[in-house]
């Protein structure tokens, strides 16, 4: 039997394999969701996060809750599922779980609610968001307190953030007197983070003399941190 025939047979037998999980940008997610008349929209963040703002008609099914799989098992597997979290990590894991459970169409929003909300798209229940946290004046004091300041915007539920914490702590000591490295927790500072134009975490903002000179996102090795800092020293 020819290889092409084998592949064709396999694709016919499992047609959902090619599109069972697909990651969409916020623009694609919004456009496709609006056209889908039978979509199931899931917000897989915590109830507390959901209450601070969510997409219209989204059902809250916390990915970290013990009964997550029990809840998604009650959904209609014949209908497409659109899923999002805050920045993409939990929704990616939830999309995999949905696929493994038997859902044929699962769409994961890249960048999550953070990118959606910072781009100015409509949300519901956002009256509590940003009620507490650091003020702009307090932040400005931080970035002007030394010639070079690196701000690490992180969250305890963000695996890359947690993984880099020992490196950040080490560099704070190594660069003492040369550069200042500050950490800013995302959860209590949502309003400030939005004003800073940060739409994904981990995020690193590098300031020199109070002016933003560089920004990075995602996991970085120690040598990358050092190169970033040394570029302004």
Residues catalogued as catalytic: 85
Q: Which of 109, 114, 143 is closest to 211 using CA atoms?
A: 143
Burial state string for 169-197 with b = 16 or more CB within 10 A and e = fewer than 16: eebbeebeeebbbbebebbebbbbbeebe
Query: How buried is 137 (Cβ within 10 angstroms: 0-12 exposed, 13-18 middle, 19+ buried)?
Result: exposed
- 30: Cβ–Cβ under 8 A, 6 or more apart, which residues? 116, 121
Contact (Cβ atoms closer than 8 angstroms) between residue 150 and residue 229: yes
Whether omega for the bond prior to residue 209 falls within 30 degrees of 0, making it cis, is no
Q: What is the DSSP letter of 183?
A: E
Going by C-beta distance under 8 Å and a sequence separation of 6 or more, which residues neighbour residue 115?
A: 26, 87, 109, 199, 200
- Quick one: how far is CA 78 from the chain centroid? 28
């Amino acid at each position: 039997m020819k290889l092409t025939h084998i592949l064709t047979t396999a694709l016919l037998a499992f047609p959902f394999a090619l599109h069972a999980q697909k990651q969409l940008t916020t623009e694609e997610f919004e456009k496709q969701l609006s056209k889908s008349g039978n979509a199931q929209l899931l917000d897989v963040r915590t109830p507390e996060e959901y209450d601070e703002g969510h997409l219209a008609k989204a059902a809250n099914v916390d990915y970290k809750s013990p009964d997550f799989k029990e809840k998604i098992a009650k959904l209609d597997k014949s209908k497409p599922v659109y899923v999002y979290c805050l920045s993409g990590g939990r929704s990616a894991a939830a999309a995999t779980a949905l696929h493994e459970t038997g859902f044929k169409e699962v769409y994961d929003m890249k960048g999550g609610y953070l990118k959606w909300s910072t781009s100015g798209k409509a949300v519901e229940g956002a009256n509590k968001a940003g009620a507490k946290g650091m003020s702009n004046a307090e932040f400005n004091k931080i970035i002007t307190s030394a010639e070079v300041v690196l701000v690490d915007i992180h969250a305890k539920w963000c695996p890359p953030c947690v993984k880099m914490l020992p490196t950040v702590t080490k560099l704070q000591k190594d660069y003492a007197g040369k550069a200042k490295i500050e950490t800013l927790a995302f959860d209590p500072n949502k309003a400030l983070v939005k004003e800073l134009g940060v739409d994904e975490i981990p995020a690193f903002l590098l300031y020199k003399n109070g002016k933003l000179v560089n920004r990075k996102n995602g996991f970085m090795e120690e040598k990358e941190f050092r190169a970033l800092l040394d570029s302004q020293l």
